[in-house]
Structures are given as C-alpha cells and as structure tokens.
Amino acid sequence: MKPRYSDSRGYVRGHLREDVDNELRKLTGDDEAGMYWTLEDYVESVVLQHGLKPIGWPPDIPFQNLSNIRGGVSVLTRLEYLWVHGILKFVRISEDERMAASLNAKHLAPAPKYVQRKSPGGREDTGRGRYRYKMNPYNLPLRHPKTGPKTPKYVPAEWDN
C-alpha cells in the first residue's frame, strides 16, 4: 500500500526521497542503501562506503533533511525537477576525493550550506531533580532537594579560560 500524503509538499518530498534512495540502491547494489542528510552521515554512508556523491545540488538550497528545507513546495519541486531531468544525480568519485572526504567531510559537501550532526550533549534536566520512584514512592518532599546538574548542556568556550 502506498503512503498517503496530507499536502503536496509531503507528496513531492516523499517521492524525491524514494527516487534518491532507489537510485542509490540501484547504483550500489545494496538493498539497505539510503541517503543521509547530515554532512557527516552522508559522507560516511554514501561517499566513503559506496564511493558516490551527488552533483547538481543548487547552491542556494541547504543540504539537509528534506523535511527541514524552508521555502515550501516550490523548493522541493525545483529539486525534484533537477532530479528527474538528470541535472541532480549521483556520480562515482575518485580515490583522491574519497581520501579527502575521509580527512575533511566539508570537501565533498553537495552545497555551500549544510547541516552537521548534533553533538549528543548532556542531560536535559538542568536545575531539576529526577523523580526516583523507589526512593520516594509517596511523592513526599525530600529532606535534601536534588536540583540536578548545575552546568548547561553546552559549555561556552569563554568558560575555558
């Protein structure tokens, strides 16, 4: 059963993803191959693993998850047009390009603007105590309140001095 889409943007996005993944599977012979939309994941899974890179990505559209691209259906329709007409396509890369990508992922970024993988960071409960169901089953006030971690998830560079 084919997926149903609530709007035309979802329809175009779904078909573009499906077309890109199918082409990647056809070129690699790997049924599990798929496109990844953060720079590091794309370089690891498409460039280094399969030796392919997309060419023809418009420089004014950031390389990121198709769900997060701003501009509405017109931007996705433009990408789909480029894909269908063979302007946006996958090509094999040389060993020199593969080495350059393994050293610095930015060398094979499909577009000047791209999204990088987020660092995992720390806990999300800064300033709050975690509920401990075994220690306080009746939810009574604690004798010594636990306020959680004191530092934010990401420490600014100025704090290192």
Task: List, in sequence order, every residue forming a beta bridge with 92; answer none if it has no partner.
Answer: 52
Q: Three-state SS string across the chain, please? A: CCCCCCCHHHHHHHHHHHHHHHHHHHHHCCCCCCCCCCHHHHHHHHHHHHCEEEECCCCCCCECCHHHCCCCHHHHHHHHHHHHCCCCEEEECCHHHHHHHHHCHHHHCCCCCECCCCCCCCCCCCCCCCCCCCCCCCCCCCCCCCCCCCCCCCCCHHHHC
131-158: b (≥16 Cβ within 10 Å) or e: eeeeeeeeeeeeeeeeeeeeeeeeeeee
- Residue 156's pLDDT is what? 76
pLDDT in tens, the chain (161 residues): 566 778 888 899 999 999 999 999 999 999 999 999 988 899 999 999 999 999 999 999 999 999 989 988 999 999 999 999 999 999 999 999 889 888 888 888 888 888 877 777 766 666 666 666 777 788 777 777 777 677 777 777 787 76
- Residue 52's pLDDT is what? 93
Whole-angstrom distance, CA of residue 95 vs CA of residue 157: 37
- Residue 79's pLDDT is what? 95
- Residue 25's pLDDT is what? 95
| Beta carbons of 38 and 27 less than 8 angstroms apart | no
